[in-house]
Amino acid sequence: MQSGTEIRERLIKEFAESYMEKLFYFCLKKTSSHIEAEDLTQDIALQIITALNKGMIPTSFSAWIWQIARNRYSAWAKEQHSQNESQSAFDSNDYEIEDDSENILDQMIRTEQMSLLRRELAFIKSDYRNIVVAYYVENKNVREIAESLSLSVNTVKSRLLRAREILKEGMDMAREFGKLSYKPENIAFASSGSQPSGLPWKAVQRKIPKNILLHASNNPSTLEELSVELGIALPYMEEEVKILHHATLLEKQGDQYITNFFILDKDCRIEVYHALRKTAKERSRLIREFMDDRMTDIRAMGIAGDHMDDNTIRWWLVPALMDYLIETSVKAKNVYEPPKRANGESWGFVGYEITDLPEETVMGHNGCGDKNEFWSYKYGDYSLWDQCGEAYYEEVELMCNCIRENRKLSSFTDIEKRVWNGIHGRYAHISDDGSMIPDILVIRTEALEQIHQLFQEHKNYAMLIQNVTDLYEKVEEIFKKYSHQVLHNNIGYNIRMELYAMRMMAIHDLVEENVLKLPQDTSKSSLGMYIFLK
């Protein structure tokens, strides 16, 4: 049994193959004009295909087609009669603009296929479009249009003349529609900062806004240019651009719009990757030497229980040290924090063209909690992104309360016991005396400060800072080559975001050297997860 879609496609194919030519000769016989016959045939075909696309399944296909043809011809004949009558008794305001090009333009518009006219109407502004539709489709005269739109007769005449010129230009063009809408570029986004309103994510969930941002990236574009490039009617484009502008993802410059955050294309991403990777081995070596020299001191700070090995500490320490290097080195460069937004929020946004790099460089760093915080480094490789899953707010509060108060399981309320079920075996276990024993790191503020102090005092620290500072300058040079001038003053945030790829590169290097050991079961692993107690 055929589905509705299959039936519709079969009927459309049958109509195109068996009826179009017959309809043309029917219209030619009725109109006695080759041009009018083509116009009328297109109108009839549009009605038939539209009805089929809306789900119409006629019981007698042939009879249904010819009924539509006769009805549309009848309407066409009445329109012709009405036009002839109105042109036989007109005054100077009823007829159109006194312009030498008027008859030529009118003739061109009237003799083009209606589908072409409808196409071009989608790409002119509503001020012009409403007048053209009223005049050419609804057969109203200038005075009637002026009254219905509350405009002067001269204004209507002027806009109609301008609309004709725009339509003629469009009809003369061979437009290429919707390259991006039919083959949308693969683009991913990364964000950071405070986002309680849901921006920027809620503004880029669909393909249309993504394509708009992609086309306007490094490419100031008018609404009309965006409309033509993406194959989207101007009224809809106006609405989409308004949303993106309000979301502070598009900046307006005169009558043009440009994406005001950096979208890295494939070439840029590859060049940045090679710049980061070029000095990665040296960074990894210097980090490894620091960990070897100071692991005993770091363990003595009590961030890990006696049952936890050094490997657990290293999986957290490597990205944490990279973060500290980035934050310390870029402060001297006056790098911008996430930009302030019009709604008072502070967040940054970066776009990436999906590119096959030689290695996975993505690493997340997610947090949960208020005064008590649970953090998790999310490794983009080795199936370690999700691991055993991140803790919920209630679980974080209970764990932190147990750590601070040294609570035992016997003191838990019924609600806390239910919350404990999500903690047990993932982030903690119960000791013989009923106390909670964390199975993830517990980092207190003073311990983190002591680790940073040890790091700064180490012989490798200055070399690491210089390594990252040089890299910042190199990435800045690359970014400016690939970005529009409008982005240059705020490009520091984007550079900082790219430097975080150093974390995963170091993980790869140290796994390869067996300094970092992979877990046997990633679904039960909690590597890189930690409680931060302020």
pLDDT tens over the chain, length 534 residues? 566 677 877 888 888 778 887 887 788 878 877 777 777 887 888 888 878 877 788 877 887 888 888 888 888 887 776 655 544 443 434 333 333 333 444 444 444 445 556 556 656 677 777 888 787 767 788 888 999 888 888 888 888 888 777 766 665 544 444 444 434 457 788 888 778 888 898 888 888 888 888 888 888 999 988 887 777 778 788 989 999 999 999 999 999 999 988 888 888 999 999 999 999 999 999 999 999 999 999 999 999 999 999 999 999 999 999 999 998 886 545 565 777 888 888 888 888 888 889 999 999 998 988 777 999 999 999 999 999 999 999 999 999 999 999 999 999 999 999 999 999 999 999 999 999 999 999 999 999 999 999 999 999 999 999 999 999 999 999 999 988 888 887 788 888 889 999 999 999 999 999 999 999 999 999 999 999 998
In this prediction, residue 168 carries a pLDDT of: 66
The pLDDT of residue 82? 67
Every domain of the chain and the residues it spans: 4-172, 179-261, 267-340+353-533
| Class of domain 179-261 as given by CATH | mainly alpha
Q: What is the 3-state secondary structure (H, E, C) of 55-100?
A: CCCCCCHHHHHHHHHHHHHHHHHHHHHHHHHHHHCCCCCCCCCCCC
Would you state the torsion angle of the CA atoms of residues 520, 281, 506, 319, taken in this order, to the nearest 10 degrees?
140
DSSP assignment string, 439-481 = SSEEEEHHHHHHHHHHHHHSTTHHHHHHHHHHHHHHHHHHHHH
CA-to-CA dists, residue 59 to 11, 17, 62, angstroms: 12, 19, 9
344: left (phi over 0), alpha (psi -120 to 50) or beta: left
Contact 38, 113 (CB under 8 A): yes
Question: What's residue 179's pLDDT?
Answer: 40
